[in-house]
């Protein structure tokens, strides 16, 4: 039985951060293995782990391995207690809020959708309050053990202040979303760019576990990208690092909304693909599902649209691989199902291999669609990171 009166664990040293992160993302793991991977002494690992055990975040499992050859002393692996704390994550789109409750291991335990009557910031804050109330009301444990809310928003986000500088799909400029959401929900709020939030989830709990450098590319209304180097999310001086959507790969055209020409987003973003498919097939009312169906049925014009999009994506990803050398690149997003990925994949991989330099071509490419619930999970993963900065002292 968890003792809810116990305070939250406190991160006060790099050793504590290293130990807790390793158990959280790669556990169960023994102290000996933690010491081996981190370079800390066994005594330092034990000292760092003790507060988390006492606060109920970590547990010692039954001894299942030995610390040395022969008759070495059995080791008791450390594991996270997932239900010690819960976290809310919400993905904000121009049409709805998608919310989840996750445990400490970022496993989704509850989810809900809530339509947005408008994208006015005050309306969004009010709907966030209603959504979080719904989700937390589903279990006394959620309400008692949830303190943090993560929000994922497209566009230029200042995570440190919770300010959304610019979100084109929400038509927002300089919106203090963190402040508004905190006032509406009473929770500690962290706001992050949606692609970066999804990358945090993949780095800690998904395809990026065990890698020190990887990248996530998303296909949707725009082309998003976030990069992890040396186990750190790269933000750049102004928070816009990794924007491969605006890498020019298409010569002088087509024009992009950013003002440039030939950007990846202007060729491979969903609006660009749909526009090109309508022109190629001569059907002004064609839907994206219709374009995918035509291409899967073998229509050469429709297939060429997806081939061009895949080629543009592969070239941009190769440029990124040449620059930072990630161990793997995960391609995700909100295209409608695996069918669209199948139409892109061959051309994406081929152009990537052709353009990547030397060993960069060995980078593992993983194509996997993600529903919006996973983007909300990314927002919750960002909230989980607040364990490192919002501890009671």
Q: Cα 130 from chain centroid?
A: 24
Q: Cα 27 from chain centroid?
A: 20
SS3 175: strand
Write out the residue limits of the CATH 1.10.10.10 domain(s) in the chain. 14-82
The structural architecture, per CATH, of the domain 85-199+374-388 is: 2-Layer Sandwich (3.30)
Q: Let me know: does 355 contact 318? Beta carbons within 8 Å.
A: yes
Residue among 256, 242, 134 at smallest CA distance from 185: 134
pLDDT of residue 336: 64
Q: Which residue has the tokens 């998003």?
A: 224
Backbone CA torsion sign across 272, 273, 274, 275? positive
In order, the DSSP letters of 1-17 are ---TTSPPP---SHHHH
User: Residue 168 has which token pair?
Assistant: 């084109």
Does domain 209-367 fall under CATH 3.30.420.40? My reply is: yes
Q: Categorise residue 353: left if φ over 0, alpha if ψ from -120 to 50, beta otherwise.
A: alpha
If one looks up domain 14-82 in CATH, what number appears? 1.10.10.10
Taking only the tens place, the pLDDT of each residue in 151-205 is 999 988 999 899 999 998 899 999 999 999 999 999 999 999 999 999 999 998 9
Write out the residue limits of the CATH 3.30.420.40 domain(s) in the chain. 85-199+374-388, 209-367
Angle at the Cα of 369 from the Cα atoms of 363 and 372, rounded to 5 degrees: 130
- The conformation of residue 371, written as its DSSP 8-state character, comes to -
Q: Let me know: does 19 contact 58? Beta carbons within 8 Å.
A: no
Residue among 104, 83, 86, 80 at smallest CA distance from 187: 86
Q: How many helices (H) and strands (E) does the chain have?
A: 13, 17
Residue 141 CB: number of other CB atoms within 10 A?
A: 17
Taking only the tens place, the pLDDT of each residue in 127-151 is 999 999 999 999 999 999 999 999 9
Residue among 73, 328, 113 at smallest CA distance from 216: 328
* Farthest CA pair distance, the chain: 76
pLDDT of residue 74: 59
Residue among 25, 34, 106, 16 at smallest CA distance from 77: 34
Distance (Å, whole) CA 13 – CA 317: 37
Residue among 216, 242, 161 at smallest CA distance from 378: 216
Distance (Å, whole) CA 14 – CA 156: 29
pLDDT of residue 207: 87
Residue 351 CB: number of other CB atoms within 10 A?
A: 21
- Containing 153, the helix (H) or strand (E) segment is strand 146-153
User: Residue 279 has which token pair?
Assistant: 């022109």
Q: Let me know: does 157 contact 164? Beta carbons within 8 Å.
A: yes
User: Residue 20 has which token pair?
Assistant: 């807790």
SS3 225: strand
Q: Let me know: does 216 contact 225? Beta carbons within 8 Å.
A: yes
Distance (Å, whole) CA 88 – CA 106: 10
Residues of the chain with confidence (pLDDT) below 50: 1-2, 4-5, 66-71, 390-393
Backbone CA torsion sign across 140, 103, 225, 292? negative
pLDDT of residue 392: 39
């Amino acid at each position: 039985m968890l003792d809810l009166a116990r305070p939250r664990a406190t991160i006060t040293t790099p050793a504590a951060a290293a130990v807790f992160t390793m158990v959280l993302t790669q556990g169960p793991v023994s102290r000996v293995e933690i010491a081996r991977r981190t370079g800390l002494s066994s005594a330092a690992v034990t000292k760092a782990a003790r507060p988390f055990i006492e606060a109920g975040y970590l547990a010692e499992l039954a001894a299942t391995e030995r610390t040395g050859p022969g008759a070495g002393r059995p080791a008791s692996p450390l594991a996270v207690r997932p239900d010690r704390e819960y976290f809310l994550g919400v993905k904000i789109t121009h049409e709805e809020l998608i919310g989840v409750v996750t445990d400490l291991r970022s496993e989704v335990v509850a989810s809900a959708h809530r339509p947005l009557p408008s994208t006015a910031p005050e309306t969004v804050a009010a709907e966030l309050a209603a959504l979080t109330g719904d989700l937390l009301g589903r279990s006394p444990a959620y309400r008692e053990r949830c303190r943090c809310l993560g929000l994922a928003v497209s566009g230029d986000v200042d995570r440190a202040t919770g300010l959304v500088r610019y979100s084109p799909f929400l038509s927002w400029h300089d919106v203090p979303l963190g402040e508004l959401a905190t006032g509406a929900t009473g929770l500690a709020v962290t706001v992050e760019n949606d692609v970066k939030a999804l990358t945090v989830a993949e780095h800690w709990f998904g395809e990026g576990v065990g890698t020190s450098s990887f990248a996530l590319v998303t296909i949707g209304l725009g082309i998003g990208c976030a990069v992890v180097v040396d186990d750190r999310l790269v933000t750049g001086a102004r928070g816009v690092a990794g924007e491969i959507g605006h890498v020019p790969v298409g010569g002088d055209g087509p024009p992009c909304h950013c003002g440039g020409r030939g950007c990846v987003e202007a060729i491979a973003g969903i609006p660009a693909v749909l526009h090109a498919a309508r022109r190629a097939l001569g059907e002004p009312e064609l839907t994206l599902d219709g374009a995918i169906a035509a291409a899967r049925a073998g229509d050469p014009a429709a297939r060429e649209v997806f081939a061009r999009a895949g080629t543009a994506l592969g070239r941009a990803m190769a440029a990124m691989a040449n620059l930072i050398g990630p161990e793997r690149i995960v391609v995700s997003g909100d295209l409608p199902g695996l069918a669209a990925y199948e139409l892109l994949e061959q051309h994406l991989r081929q152009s990537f291999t052709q353009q990547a330099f030397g060993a960069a071509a060995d980078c593992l490419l993983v194509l996997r669609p993600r529903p919006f619930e996973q983007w909300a999970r990314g927002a919750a993963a960002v909230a989980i990171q607040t364990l490192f900065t919002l501890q009671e002292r």
